Amino acid sequence: MEFTLVPRHLRGNGGQLLSSPIPPAFYGDRRLRRFQFSTFPKNSSSQIQNNLHSMSSSVLMPSSTRCEVSSASTFQEVSDLADINWDNIAFSPLPADFMYVAKSLEDGIFMKGELQRFGPIPMSPCAGILNYGQGLFEGMKAYRKADGSILLFRPEENALRMRIGAERMCMRAPTVEHFVDAVKQTVLANKRWVPPPGKGALYIRPLLMGSGPVLGLAPAPEYTFIIFASPVGNYFKEGLAPLNLIIDTEMHRAIPGGTGGIKAIGNYSPVLKAQAIAKNKGYSDVLYLDSVHKKYVEEVSSCNVFVVKDNIISTPEIKGTILPGITRKSVIEVARRQGFQVEERLVDVEELLSADEVFCTGTAVVVSPVGSITYLEKRVEYGNKGVGIVAQQLYSALTGIQTGLTKDTMGWTMVVD
């Protein structure tokens, strides 16, 4: 993929932006440093240098060449890292410079997308996402190695999960190849926002939305695929310190036959009330039980749960109400390689309370140990309030692969270049 820096006034109607440039005030004190943008037409070796301060009236536009950013990109960073305090980043929005946008055509095929400055997008009040919640999202991270290279972790799994979710929601979705290539483009364009080794990660948020207008209940006629990114630190303020969870016996995250098994946008706001009540009481988050028997463990608000007893690791089976987490899947494979017996099955709440260790997994939380669980006003503590041995072992093994500190014998990482 090659990019040309195209002034806004030179673009035709075919290159209209979905978003407006962000006012300089939006970025606060974040200083934009110089990048080099080069374009190499087949019979030309011209090179253009620009300062990103002028990007308020410019966008990156794809050239006519085929979209293969991983092998043909001429987008090269010549700057230092973004000028922020990397020791103080949280898991909160700090939007990187560019976002990727693509729209579906009438036949459902997505046209080649483009990189645009991060900013607002116009949307019809009749859009399917606004009226009927027809939308999906994914979450993934990019890590910087000590040699400066950048790694993605199993991006094709996110692409497949989005396609499965789209089928359930009657949505059109980009191909796996399109998804992965778009993620690479987004990371390369925002390379300076990938934290230094050990300081966090660049969180990548792909969104698929029903952007076409509807009034009656029906699938949207058009879909928009967006990817934006933000540097992040720990999801929970505790970091790797143990979490304190409370089991909610009245509210439920998902029901059989619903959409709990996909990453639908509408799955998450219903847990906000229970989560807010729990946090006001001093808990880290909420653990939910099944909605039928009200005794089988399902998930925390945004992550999967594992229970350790002796040398056996158990986790609730995927049966339509539990999200098939990519970190969950990876932890299971790593644990089995390390000699643990891993069982995917129904996990009774009483079994949870008598476990040796409990931990959570997810893209945002990675592997987070649980220090205590409160159920019906009874508090059970694990590992003397410390990080469990198994959780620590799996955390070290998984993050070693994700960050490139250990050899990836699983073939899970992908270098962005």
Residue 75 pairs with which residues in a beta bridge?
A: 37
CATH code of the domain in which 317 resides:
3.20.10.10
**What values do phi and psi take at 169, rounded to 5?**
-95, 10
Domain that holds residue 290: 243-403
**Number of domains the chain is built from:** 2
Domain finish residue from 208, 232, 256: 232
Q: Are residues 108 and 44 in the same domain?
A: yes
Which of these three, 232, 261, 290, is where a domain ends?
A: 232
> Looking at 31-179, which runs of residues are DSSP E strands?
35-38, 47-50, 58-62, 75-76, 98-103, 114-117, 135-137, 140-144, 150-153
The answer to whether position 413 is within a domain reads no
For helices 326-337 and 155-168, what crossing angle results, to 10°? 130
Q: What is the sign, positive or negative, of the torsion defined by CA atoms of 237, 388, 325, 355? A: negative
> From residue 413, how far is each of 148, 285, 410 by CA, in Å?
15, 30, 8
Q: Are residues 220 and 264 in the same domain?
A: no
- Return the structure tokens found at 157: 């799994």
Diameter of the chain measured on Cα atoms: 74
Judgement on whether residues 227 and 298 belong to the same structural domain of the protein: no
Name the domain boundary from 179, 209, 232.
232
176 with 282, same domain: the answer is: no
Q: Indicate the burial class of 226 (C-beta count within 10 angstroms; 0-12, 13-18, 19 or more).
A: buried
Active site residue 279: no
- Helix 326-337 to helix 389-403 angle (10° resolution) is 110
Look at residue 37 in the predicted model and tell me its pLDDT: 33
Q: Check whether residue 71 and residue 126 sit in a common domain.
A: yes
Q: What pairs with residue 316 in β-bridges?
A: 345
Is residue 410 situated within a structural domain?
no
Token readout for 309 is 């007893």
Q: What is the DSSP letter of 261?
A: T
Read off the CATH number of the domain in which 146 is found: 3.30.470.10
Would you say residue 146 lies in a domain?
Answer: yes
In a domain, 277, yes or no: yes
Distance separating alpha carbons of residues 68 and 276, to the nearest angstrom: 44
Q: Can you read off the two tokens belonging to residue 243? A: 């979490």
What pTM, to 2 d.p., does this model score? 0.81
Q: Round to whole Å and give the CA distance between 408 and 398.
A: 10
Residues paired with 144 in a beta bridge: 150
Is residue 237 assigned to a domain?
no
User: Alpha-carbon torsion 258, 260, 261, 263, what sign?
Assistant: positive
Whether 302 and 313 have beta carbons less than 8 Å apart is answered as: no
The reply to whether 163 falls in a domain is: yes
In a domain, 286, yes or no: yes
Closest by alpha carbon to 91, among 303, 204, 237, 282? Answer: 237
Neighbours of 299 (CB within 10 A): 24
Verify that 32 and 144 share a domain, yes or no: yes
One domain for residues 312 and 222? no
Dist. CA 140–CA 206, nearest whole Å: 8
pLDDT of the chain, 417 residues: tens digit per residue: 434 333 333 333 333 344 333 333 333 333 333 333 333 333 333 332 333 333 333 333 333 333 333 333 334 443 579 999 999 998 899 999 999 999 998 888 999 999 999 999 999 999 999 999 999 999 999 999 999 999 999 999 999 999 999 999 999 999 999 999 999 999 999 999 999 999 999 999 999 999 999 999 999 999 999 999 999 988 766 557 899 999 999 999 999 999 999 999 999 999 999 999 999 999 999 999 999 999 999 999 999 999 999 999 999 999 999 999 999 999 999 999 999 999 999 999 999 999 999 999 999 999 999 999 999 999 999 976 678 999 999 999 999 999 999 999 999 999 998
Q: Angle formed by the axes of helices 176-189 and 155-168, to 10°?
A: 130
Instruction: Give the pLDDT confidence score for residue 385 in this predicted structure.
Output: 66
Which residue has 């050990």 as its token pair? 198
Specify whether 202 is located in the same domain as 266. Answer: no
Measured CA to CA, the distance from residue 154 to residue 332 in angstroms comes to: 15
- Rounded Cα distance between 123 and 44, Å, is 39
Q: Are residues 209 and 288 in the same domain?
A: no
User: Quick check: is 218 in a domain?
Assistant: yes
Q: Tell me which of 42, 263, 279, 329 is the catalytic residue.
A: 263
pLDDT for position 9: 34
196 and 311, same domain (yes or no): no
DSSP per-residue codes, 169-198: TT-----HHHHHHHHHHHHHHTGGGSPPTT
Q: What is the pLDDT of residue 378?
A: 95
pLDDT of residue 79: 52
Q: Which amino acid is at 216?
A: G
Burial (CB < 10 A; 0-12, 13-18, 19+), residue 209, is buried
State whether 141 and 171 are in the same domain.
yes
214 and 282: one domain? no
Question: Which residues fall within 8 angstroms of residue 28, CB to CB, at 6 or more apart?
Answer: none
What pLDDT, on the 0 to 100 scale, is given for residue 241?
80
